[in-house]
Amino acid sequence: MKICIWCRKDETQESFDKKAHTIPQSLGGKNICENVCDKCNHYFGSPQPNLPSSELVLKEMLNISKYYLLKTANSIPKNKRYKSEYFNINWNTFHIKIKPRYSLKDGFQKKLGRQFRKAMFKVFLEERERQRNDALADRFNFIREFARYDLGNYPIYIHIPKFKVILGSLPDIENPQIRFTDHSDEMDKEFRIYGYQLLGHNFLIPTSPFFDELCRDDFLKYLVKDNHPFGTTIKRIDYAENIDYTFRYIAD
């Protein structure tokens, strides 16, 4: 019997006919989470009042990085151009700007940032279910509330890179994946954080609503002590522009 990891309804209450891609297909995601009902699946792909869907925001923002990485690897398929509803991109200078009709809207950047964070949590929980089959645990309730019901507000971080290199293989750029490993279990247990490598970025998402209060200081100390290869400092993502989509730190 399937139970939806978002609304907890089962097959007697909701239909489960549509395929729920964990990472959007439009970003190259191939994995499916079986335990997502059609209603919740539809929610993630639907715009909300004056706001694009979280799936579209994730796609638009990370496709910039994907396009950049494929371009530097000379792997852009013929006839493929990056198109965006929200961003203007100069592919010679790699500068990105939100299109004027959106940038003038009050608080739009912040709303994009929030939708992006919700989408990152959504991918996390669906992959968690697919790989570990324990997404219904109560400790993930805050992710359900935030990603699915738009309640509360939870941070996402990104490593500030230490080295001028981009880690990641071509297959992972074409078909992005996140992985749960012994190491990620350890980080989860010790610091309530999940290291989330996606399209050349090293994101971090809290696995507890109390990460900031209870674990962040210890985690930052650990990064320094470990001289962590992804970087010993982290940055909070509040706005769409907080992410260095085109890896300008390499050129700087």
Which pairs count as long-range contacts for 178-181, CB under 8 Å and 24+ apart, including other chains? 178/23, 178/123, 178/124, 178/127, 179/131, 180/127, 180/128, 180/131, 180/132
Please name the residues in contact with 138: beta carbons below 8 A apart, sequence gap of 6 or more.
Answer: none
Specify the residue, 23 or 33, whose C-beta has the smaller distance to Zn ion. Answer: 33
Specify the residue, 37 or 123, whose C-beta has the smaller distance to Zn ion. Answer: 37
Please name the residues in contact with 232: beta carbons below 8 A apart, sequence gap of 6 or more.
Answer: 162, 223, 224
- Residue 175 half-sphere exposure toward CB, CA atoms < 13 A: 5
Specify the residue, 2 or 139, whose C-beta has the smaller distance to Zn ion. Answer: 2
Q: For residues 245 and 65, is the Cβ–Cβ distance under 8 A?
A: yes
Query: Which residue, among 87, 125, 91, has the nearest Cα to 109 in the 3D structure?
Result: 87
Q: Which residue has the tokens 């309804």?
A: 9
Specify the residue, 8 or 248, whose C-beta has the smaller distance to Zn ion. Answer: 8
Q: What are phi and psi of 104, to 5 degrees?
A: -80, -10
Q: How far is the CB of 138 from Zn ion (least distance, A)?
A: 17
Q: How far is the CB of 41 from Zn ion (least distance, A)?
A: 8
**CA-to-CA distance for 2 and 10, rounded, in angstroms?**
6
Q: How far is the CB of 5 from Zn ion (least distance, A)?
A: 8
Q: How far is the CB of 85 from Zn ion (least distance, A)?
A: 27
Query: Which residue, among 252, 246, 233, 249, has the nearest Cα to 96 in the 3D structure?
Result: 246
**Which residues are near Zn ion by CB under 5 A?**
4, 6-7, 37, 40
Question: How many CB atoms neighbour CB 231 within 10 A?
Answer: 16
**CA-to-CA distance for 159 and 222, rounded, in angstroms?**
13
Specify the residue, 126 or 244, whose C-beta has the smaller distance to Zn ion. Answer: 126
**CA-to-CA distance for 69 and 73, rounded, in angstroms?**
6
Q: How far is the CB of 34 from Zn ion (least distance, A)?
A: 12
Specify the residue, 6 or 157, whose C-beta has the smaller distance to Zn ion. Answer: 6
Q: How far is the CB of 9 from Zn ion (least distance, A)?
A: 5
Specify the residue, 144 or 216, whose C-beta has the smaller distance to Zn ion. Answer: 144
Q: How far is the CB of 119 from Zn ion (least distance, A)?
A: 16
